[in-house]
Structure 1
Amino acid sequence: MGRRERQFSWGVMVIMLAVGACIMFFESSLQLHSSPEKRDIHNRELELLMDTLHSRVDRFPGDTLEVDETKPSWRPWRGDPQGSVCLNYKNRFGRGLTPVLLVSIPCSGSTWLRYLLEGATGFFTGSLYNDTLLYDAGFLGEKDGMHGGRTLVQRTHGTSFYLTDMHDLQDRYEHVDPDLPTILLLRDPARAIISYWKMFNLEGSNKHVEEIPESRFEGEDFRSFVAEMTLLWEELATDRLLWCRGPLHVIHYGDLVQDPMRELRQVLRFLRVPEDEGRLACVASHMRGSFKRNSSTHFDPFIMDEKLRFTNAVGRVNRLLRLLDYPLLSQDAGFSS
């Protein structure tokens, strides 16, 4: 059996385990007809899966979480008044860092989370996308690729970034390595789609923060965009929940906005990175970062059919989150059907 077949078999096994969990939790009548031995096997498999998913990053031998002071650096708070302790902190590359994926659909808050992580740890974060705008703004790990071992986490949007008909199960499985420790960042799909549509329709140095006329949210091009992105949002979330074979940390953008320091500390614990109270104090006093869009939370461009799609997609993802004992995603009340 080749590598692709083995990987896919693992993915199928994890899916079967999740389905088994559904049966154990919600179809008790079926269990009455199974033997105690079979129930014991299912319980042990489920416990193994849960223990793995809810564990923390197991850092590779030699990964001592030390920065490389010979490589380029960036002062994240260099605009502070002269004499501020935050002015002296630098972000740098590491050496031999254990790979950890940061997975989300675009415009779910991954750039802001990267800013918080870089400020809190002093390590650059990486990306699959080589965004020159982010690099010029101080995310020097942006051009470092996914496998160099010099960045703390590596961002990917899976197949959702390409907005093509990449719904093939095997393509999606191979695009994001299921063996790597993963941070899954989830945002209410309606809000993420609004932000992504803005960036999708903008060019230039301010595409991450500028607004577009509300009239651009009308027409068939936006309706098609919503339908495609809703599907991709659910695919990315369910793929990671069903296929991850390593530690998985789920964080909701709404929780990050509500209490960023609490969520940041939880991510640091998942990564097994010591908490530097001096850096964390500077993060707390420089919370915004460079790429947070000033958007109205009341704008609603969606038709009823789209709101129903959001509700159903969030409901299905929440069912998996509940089965795997992760916090549930709250849908924006203004977008519920």
Structure 2
Amino acid sequence: MVLLQRLYRMKSRLPVMMTVMMIMMVFCCSRLPCRLPVPLEPQPDTCVASTALNHPLLQRTNGKVQRMPGDVLEVDLEGASWQPWTEPGNCSKYLTRFGRRLSPVLLVSLPCSGNTWLRYLLEGATGLFTGSRYFDDHLHHGGFLGEGVTMDKGRTLLHKTHGATLEPFTHDLLSRYLEVDPNLPTVLLIRDPARAVLSYYKLVKLIGGDRHRAEIPESKFRSEEFRDFVTDVTLLWEELAMDRLLWTTKPLYVLHYEDLTANPIHHLRLLLDFLSVPTDEGRLTCLAAHLDGSFRRNSSRAFDPFTQEEKLRFVQAVTRVNNLLRLLGYPLIPTP
């Protein structure tokens, strides 16, 4: 009898309980960003997920440097200048000078990835000095008068930085982020990691004015110091590329050193277009006749100091960077 009485009371309360549940459901739905089922054909006012075409990372791929108001690539005719080609002839008339109110652009690379040579090509092609976060006295005396000139001066076409890849090495995420401004247009110069590591080690071990071009004894590459250097710098090479590909918010141009060496004038034209700098055919003609510059290391000896484990690390790092390059629509690292 007691059980029947309880069931009767529950039955009499059932409409009230259902009403309360309905009110709670309506309240919860009003608080949540719930929507009606999305139709198969997206409507203009329908919020849809980002696609490959409108993703912010992909929008940088085909972007260009937007010159700031007042930046008309003006040359400072009263300041210091440099004559890149001194032999008698038509090319001797060209000078390199500082600019006025130039828009900031970064040149990011691992050391010894061809950044000095690329700066020489750009200065010859445009007549504008490039800058550097660092001051190398030998480069300055060799005509790179933008060494040490801060980017906020607006006097240089672009500004070299190596990010967090200089000694003492660090792989700390925050340090890497703070080293390079992600909110500036950027040229990312990438070189095959094995060749870059080899050249970087030479630069570290050499001193004096010829350190950018000289060689070191092969015995230097058989030390534990070199083994540790390879491990550290291989990781730095990958981190630098990944960080710029993922963190840069402004137009990003990826240039591979091997592509540049294979066809320098062609890739220089593409880079000038990215920088929104008009092409000077007379300068390019002279540059084509003087491609090397003064600080390019031309090593002809075939030398392979790497272990099989180190070579595997190179392959794995290149594969990971290539996967991201492919995803974002950039050219892949050329096969050595």
The TM-score range, normalised by the shorter chain, is 0.7 to 0.9
Question: What amino acid sits opposite 1:96 in the alignment?
Answer: R
- Rate the CA distance shift 1:236–1:35 in 2: closer, same or farther, 3 A: farther
Shift of 1:181: 0.2
Identify the match of residue 52 of structure 1 among 36, 54, 60.
60
Question: What amino acid sits opposite 2:117 in the alignment?
Answer: W
Matches of 1:329 and 1:45, distance apart in 2 = 23
Shift of 1:66: 1.2
Question: What amino acid sits opposite 2:213 in the alignment?
Answer: V
Partner of 2:246: 242
Shift of 1:121: 0.1
Partner of 2:109: 104
2:95 pairs with 1:87: no
Partner of 1:123: 128
Shift of 1:43: 1.1
2:305 pairs with 1:301: yes
Shift of 1:189: 0.5
> Per the alignment, in what secondary structure is the counterpart of residue 158 of structure 1?
coil
Partner of 1:23: none
Gaps of 5+ in 2: 1-37
Identify the match of residue 142 of structure 1 among 142, 147, 169.
147
Alignment of 1:37-48 (within 5 A): 40-43=48-51, 46-48=54-56
Shift of 1:199: 1.0
Matches of 2:302 and 2:54, distance apart in 1 = 42
Shift of 1:120: 0.2
Query: Given the two structures, how large is their TM-score scaled by the length of structure 1?
Result: 0.84
Partner of 1:8: none
What is the CA deviation profile of residues 127-171 of structure 1, one whole-angstrom value per residue up to 9, with x for unaligned ones? 01111110000000112123211000100010002242x211111
What is the CA deviation profile of residues 223-267 of structure 1, one whole-angstrom value per residue up to 9, with x for unaligned ones? 000000000000000000001100000000000000000010010
Shift of 1:45: 7.7
Query: Given the two structures, how large is their TM-score scaled by the length of structure 2?
Result: 0.85
What is the CA deviation profile of residues 264-322 of structure 1, one whole-angstrom value per residue up to 9, with x for unaligned ones? 00100000000000011010010010111121362100000000000000000000000
- Rate the CA distance shift 1:148–1:320 in 2: closer, same or farther, 3 A: same
Identify the match of residue 263 of structure 1 among 267, 280, 290.
267
Identify the match of residue 114 of structure 1 among 115, 119, 125.
119
Matches of 2:300 and 2:201, distance apart in 1 = 14
- Rate the CA distance shift 1:150–1:40 in 2: closer, same or farther, 3 A: same
8 Å Cα contact 1:74/1:91 also seen in 2: yes
Question: What amino acid sits opposite 2:177 in the alignment?
Answer: Y
| Structure with the larger helix share | 1
Question: What amino acid sits opposite 1:277 in the alignment?
Answer: E
Identify the match of residue 194 of structure 1 among 198, 211, 235.
198
> Per the alignment, in what secondary structure is the counterpart of residue 188 of structure 2?
strand
The number of equivalent residue pairs is 295
- Rate the CA distance shift 1:281–1:242 in 2: closer, same or farther, 3 A: same
Matches of 2:171 and 2:47, distance apart in 1 = 34
Shift of 1:52: 3.0
Partner of 2:85: 77
Matches of 1:246 and 1:236, distance apart in 2 = 16
> Per the alignment, in what secondary structure is the counterpart of residue 152 of structure 2?
coil
Shift of 1:53: 3.5
> Per the alignment, in what secondary structure is the counterpart of residue 329 of structure 1?
coil
What is the CA deviation profile of residues 188-210 of structure 1, one whole-angstrom value per residue up to 9, with x for unaligned ones? 00001111111111001100001
8 Å Cα contact 2:61/2:329 also seen in 1: no
How many percent of aligned residue pairs carry the same amino acid? Answer: 56
2:182 pairs with 1:174: no
Matches of 2:210 and 2:149, distance apart in 1 = 23
8 Å Cα contact 1:96/1:149 also seen in 2: yes
Question: What amino acid sits opposite 1:262 in the alignment?
Answer: H
Partner of 1:292: 296
Shift of 1:174: 1.3
Matches of 1:331 and 1:197, distance apart in 2 = 22
Q: Which structure: larger Rg?
A: 2
Matches of 2:160 and 2:248, distance apart in 1 = 16
Matches of 1:59 and 1:35, distance apart in 2 = 42
Partner of 2:16: none
Identify the match of residue 153 of structure 1 among 154, 158, 172.
158
Q: RMSD over aligned Cα, in angstroms?
A: 1.7
